[in-house]
Every structure is written in C-alpha cells, then in structure tokens.
Amino acid sequence: MISSFTRREFTKLALSALPAAGMFSALNPLRAAASGGKPNSRVAGAHIGLNVPYSFGGRTMAGEEILRNCRELNLSAVELRAQPVELFMGMPAIVVAAKTSSPKAGGAADGNTAKIREWRKSVTMDRVRDFRRMYDEGGVSIEILKVDGIFAMTPEELDYSFTMAKLLGARAISTEISKVDADVRRVGEFAEKHRLMIALHGHASTTGAQYEHSYTLGEFVGTNLDIGHYVAGDNGSPVEFMKRHHARISHVHIKDRKLDKQTKNGPNTPFGEGDTPIKEVLRLIRDNKWAIQATIEFEYKVPETSTRMGEIARAVKYCREALA
C-alpha cells in the first residue's frame, strides 16, 4: 500500500521498475535517456512531445507503463489524458473504462456519471502530487492534461479538473471542441478563474474560422491545433494560422495526412509521406521560440513488419532531424 512508504520512497520504488537507459537497444538511434540520465526531447529550443496513452493504443494504460515507454523513446514531454491519473488515484478500472467508451465532446458515460462524480468528491489530490513526482523524477513533464467530457462537468468537477492539471504541472487542459458557444464560454470562465488555458482540439471538419470564433468566448480559450487534420480538411496552411494565432495555441498535434480535396478527409501516412508541412511547422516553432509543444499523435496503421513503438520512434527521429 502507498501508505507504507514515504512519498520519496514511493517515487524511487516506481522508478526502479523502469528499465535502465542502457537496455534500450531497440531504440538505440534515439539515444534514449542517456546512461544514468533523463530523457531529453528538446531540440534547438523546440520541445517534442507525445499524446499519451492514446499514441500507445489506448486510454487507460497505467501511468508507470506510459512513463517507461516515454523514457524508452527519449521523450521528455507529454500531453497526458486524465484517465491514467485517475486510475493512479484509485478510481475503479471498470468506471474508467466505462467513462472512456464514448470520448465524444460533451458527454460522460451513461449510467456511470453519478458514480464518477461521487468518486471525485471522495478523493484528495495527494496521489496527483505523487503522480507528478514520479514523472518529474523520471524526467518527463506533463505540459498538457487531456480531459474528456469537460462540457458536461459540474462546477465542482471543473474545479477538480483544473486543480489536477495545475498540480501535474500542466499549462493547459485540452478537450474536443464544442460548437455550443454557451459551453465554451462556461468552461472558459473556469479557465480564467484558474489562469489555465482550455485548448480546443478539432478534426478535419474543424475550420480556422471556428477556432477564431472560440477566441471571442474567453480570454483563456485557445487551440490544440492538429496540423494533419487541418491539412486533410483542406483548410489551408497551418503555418499561416500559427503565425496569426500562436499566442492562443498551447500545442500542435504532429501527424502526416494526405490532402483529398474531394472528401476533405485524406488518410494518415507515415511521417514524410503525406501533404502536411511537418518540417515547416517544427522550424516555425523553433525559430520563433514559441512555447508550443510539438506533440506527436500516432494514428497511422502499423505495418506488419514493424511495431507501434518502432513506428513512434521513427516519427520522433523524423522530428528530431527536421529540427537539427
């Protein structure tokens, strides 16, 4: 039980389960977590991150496993979904699974909303502090917290979510965009109260004009710009959008997609094989020294001859080389 250890002892115990840096032979080209040190994915001032655990293929992966994978990939920053944190805090796994079964904006899982709310009222934030300490000791910063269903939350749950984000060290909460102005305005008021950006994430059908409209709904309403979706939806250049609105962008999702002007929903591809200006976006962040995390979001199909970790490593390598 956690109560049997001091917090420092707990952190050391958790980190001792992580493989030593010298054992990362499969990803040796990335020089994962140099021997005895911590991971470092800051390249020429730009910080490469990863959307986790989504990029690893799920939403409820244990925080310890996520941290281990990030260290293996030599990644020192993440956008982290709230589910692994709440699992770490003691939320029953069956409730976590239920509440993430339909991750659309504006909704919590049917039949479990009351259970989730009661559980959230019953817990303290001590385990959140332990979670952050584990990641700090492991060399991975949680810059963004992804919260599902935020527009359906009660005021108490919104305070809970923003408090969690701040305790984890995040500078923004990300969530799926809502087209309901009243919803965005209400959550934006809590973002202002907590002085923490609420970054709205869109898809190929989300236009630049929708993001720009959301900025009128609150000072702390911003954007998690997915450059692959932006291109696939035939919305123009994400570079130009970023130049105009960089102060409102917490992080960008880095992925490659093809432009299909007919469907406006071109497919995902390995990095460098689509139409998304990944290199230009990364260099734009680097050259302007913007505090915008370049967050890889892995979505294309894993080739039969490869592995998910191998393909993510390939994406990380592509980004590193673009910034070198």
Residue 150 is part of a domain; what is its CATH number? 3.20.20.150
- pLDDT recorded at residue 5: 39
What pLDDT, on a 0 to 100 scale, did the predictor assign at position 94?
Answer: 62
Each residue's pLDDT tens digit, 257-295:
999 999 999 999 999 999 999 999 999 999 999 999 999
Going by pLDDT thresholds of 50, 70 and 90, the confidence category of residue 26 is: very low
Instruction: Give me the number of domains the chain comprises.
Output: 1
182-211 mean pLDDT: 98
Q: Are 139 and 76 in contact (CB under 8 A)?
A: yes
* Entry pTM: 0.87
Give the pLDDT of residue 101: 53
Backbone φ, ψ for residue 131 (5° rounding): -60, -45
Domain enclosing residue 318, as ranges: 2-323
pLDDT at 105 over 60: no
Per-chain mean pLDDT for the chain? 89
Mean pLDDT of 181-194: 99
* DSSP secondary structure letters along 57-121: T-S---HHHHHHHHHHTT--EEEEEHHHHHHHHT--HHHHHHHTSS--TT---TTTHHHHHHHHH
Question: Which two tokens mark 41?
Answer: 């994915």
Q: Which residue has the higher pLDDT, 225 or 60?
A: 225
More confident residue, 177 or 33: 177
Give the pLDDT score at 98.
Answer: 60
pLDDT at 6 over 90: no
Length of the chain: 324
* 266, 310 Cβ separation under 8 angstroms: no
Closest CA to 201 of 267, 252, 143, 126: 252
Selection from 57, 60, 56, 81 nearest residue 69 by Cα: 56
Q: Which of 52-61, 76-85, 179-188, 194-203 has the lowest mean pLDDT?
A: 52-61
Average pLDDT over residues 111-122: 88
